[in-house]
Amino acid sequence: MIEFDNVSKRYPDGHEALSQVSFALDAGEMAFLTGHSGAGKSTLLKLIMLMERPSGGQLLVNGKSLSRLHKSQIPYYRRRVGVVFQNHQLLFDRSVFDNVALPMQVSGAERRDIERRVRAALDKVGLLSKEKLNPVQLSGGEQQRIGIARAVVHTPRILLADEPTGNLDPELSAEIMTLFEDFRNVGVSVLVATHDIALILAMDERVLTLNQGRLSEAARLAQA
């Protein structure tokens, strides 16, 4: 589903955030992306989201090179990707419900459909009772869960999460991971950037490690 082929990313200031990264993630596969702060985790996810462009190498999604994607096609591509952002990226001028509904609204879904799915997504992250509140009224952990609900509400093919459990206690983190695994089990490619080693150890999934922009894949940590 996702294929990095010798991908490098050099920022305009000359800093090379990713160096010749190669890996593939299949449909129905889940992996953790880990590494020290500044290792390039967010950069890697941004490349998949087309928020940044590779400065070298090839990035294929569903067999197609993202660099060949026409500008006008980008929105439709993004609709098939769900993202949990490190900084939430919530909109504080509308309710929790409307935040989660956004990915469905942009694709012109019907209101009945939107309501059904938004409630289901909020139910999954345990925020159904807060749908009418404004995100400002919620705690950091709850805001993060709004972001998670928004990332999954439209059942994307690819699910990316950048430190999704940063503000969550271990129990809640584990539940979110279970949710991600549910998606993995029905064919979604899931890539989770985190430096929460305890979480990774508990999960028995693939682990991709970035170090100064270089990727290595360890044997499963849980078995080590």
Contacts with other proteins, residue ranges (CB under 8 A): 49, 51, 72, 75-80, 83, 85, 89-91, 93, 102-103, 105-111, 116-117, 120-121, 123-126, 150, 152-153, 155-157, 172, 175, 178-179, 182-183, 185-188
Looking at 36-44, 54-62, 69-77, 102-110, which segment touches ligand ADP (CB under 6 A)?
A: 36-44
Q: Residue 105 or 216: which CB sits closer to other proteins? A: 105
**Burial (0-12, 13-18, 19+ Cβ within 10 Å), 126:** middle
Q: Which two tokens stand for residue 129?
A: 């009772």
- Of 82, 87, 86, give the one whose Cα is nearest residue 151: 82
Q: Residue 21 or 83: which CB sits closer to other proteins? A: 83
Residues 24-43, one symbol each (x = binds Mg ion by CB under 5 A, - = not), give ------------------x-
Q: Does 40 bind ligand ADP (CB under 6 A)?
A: yes
Q: Does 15 bind ligand ADP (CB under 6 A)?
A: yes
Torsions phi, psi for 30 (to 5 deg):
-125, 140
Q: Does 38 bind ligand ADP (CB under 6 A)?
A: yes
- Of 173, 211, 216, give the one whose Cα is nearest residue 192: 173
Q: Does 39 bind ligand ADP (CB under 6 A)?
A: yes
Q: Does 7 bind ligand ADP (CB under 6 A)?
A: no
Which of helix, strand or coil describes residue 52? coil
CA dist., res. 174 & res. 204, Å (int): 12
CA 113 from chain center: how many Å?
A: 23
* Segment (H or E) for 49: none
Positions touching ligand ADP (CB under 6 A) are 11, 13, 15, 17, 35, 37-43
Positions touching Mg ion (CB under 5 A) are 42
